[in-house]
Amino acid sequence: MELKRIVITGTGVISPVGNTTQEFWSGLLSGKSGLDTIKGFDTEGHRCTIAGEVTDFVPTEHMEPAAAKKIDRFCQFAIAASNEAVEEAGLKDSSIPAERIGVLIGSGIGGLATLEAEVEKLITKGPRRVSPMLIPKMIGDMSSGIVSIHHGFKGPNFTAVSACASSTHSIGEAFWIIQRGDADVMITGGAEAAITPVGMAGFASMRAMSTRNDDPQGASRPFDKDRDGFVMGEGSGIIVLESLESAEARGANIIAEFIGYGATADANHITSPAEDGSGAAAAIEMAMKHAKIDASEVSYINAHGTSTPMNDKFETRAIKAVFGDNAPKIPISSTKSMTGHGLGTAGAWETIVCALAVKNDKIPPTMNYTTPDPDCDLDYVPNKARECKVDVALNINLGFGGHNATGLVRKFK
């Protein structure tokens, strides 16, 4: 099968590091941390009291007040990020039929804040006080639905839910939708807003989160020997994928080319990745096969790099399994050291990082890397951004349930 060329023509970001793509990118290159003590709710009694909250976000700057009231915070993030991406891609003034523009935005958790608030009403005030908007505000597909309604896009529309791999799966499936001719443009990525009392308590009870509460900015330390868990983030990353034919026909700005996607399962454990990294390795190899590139052509990896003891060790094994003797030569970074783990939007943020890395020949650092781990002995671009030639960038994301998703981005030529 001869694949069409698919390019990225727009991006949008809401994140703890910045609420535009430029703020996000500049912040990452400078090593800016978006992690702090939680301000959104009272954390008394919680094991983990730190997170990457989105600040300075005013929903009504991005949508009508009436619309903002009817949707959960994760959907508000999705609309705001999509506004930026759509504007950068020049879709507002394009002649592309609405039926040829689809939306596929992933979320691992959905409207958790809405669910919590309405459960409290149920318990304290009774079932008749539960909002009729509970279900449409809570369900995870609503980010795709509300973005299509907001912009009037009528093409393929659904949601991928695969925990922390959700947005990378969304981007990959959007890629295939364009490949098979069902759309010319896809608005894709992820959105998440799970920094809530139940969300934080649930992950902390699993012992998955860092408890370095007295050092929020130093708590997320991927691949470092002293890592003790992830720090949660929130926000949205949106990408406009478009066939090269469509982009060139309308003279669109082209940021990078999306060339390959891999999706596999570990079939191993509900939360732990496969110890040998075989599932992630297979997803990397699948993406390279679709892209028709050799492992030697990959010049940067944005790792899943959650800062949990198991993930970082097993992911390192996956990278070694695919790249062999060349693995130590490839710059690898985990931007979760600054954004926190965005769960269902992590892969979208990190695909945007890959696109900007190949466009600008710059690699963000892995912050807080101070003590090398013998099990994690590759080049993690410690603590300082790096300028170097980046032609092909790989993004890796892994989700609870054994879900593995990878994407490949190449410098547009």
Which residue's entry shows tokens 């991005």?
62
Q: Which member of 150, 169, 290, 341 is catalytic?
A: 341
Q: Are 314 and 276 in contact (CB under 8 A)?
A: yes
Note if 151 is an active site residue: no
Note if 46 is an active site residue: no
Q: Which member of 304, 354, 376, 403 is catalytic?
A: 304
Q: What is the phi/psi pair of residue 73, to 5°?
A: -60, -35
Helix (H) or strand (E) holding 66: helix 65-69
Note if 269 is an active site residue: no
Residues 6 or more apart from 319 whose CB is under 8 A from it?
277, 281, 284, 301, 303, 327, 330, 332, 378
Q: Are 326 and 378 in contact (CB under 8 A)?
A: no
DSSP 5: P
Q: Which member of 164, 169, 354, 376 is catalytic?
A: 164
Which residue's entry shows tokens 């009436």?
66
Q: What is the DSSP string of 337-394?
A: HHH-B-GGGHHHHHHHHHHHHHHHTEE--BTT--SBBTTB-S---BSS-EE---SEEE
Residues 6 or more apart from 18 whose CB is under 8 A from it?
24, 25, 26, 27, 32, 34
The catalytic residue positions are 164, 304, 341
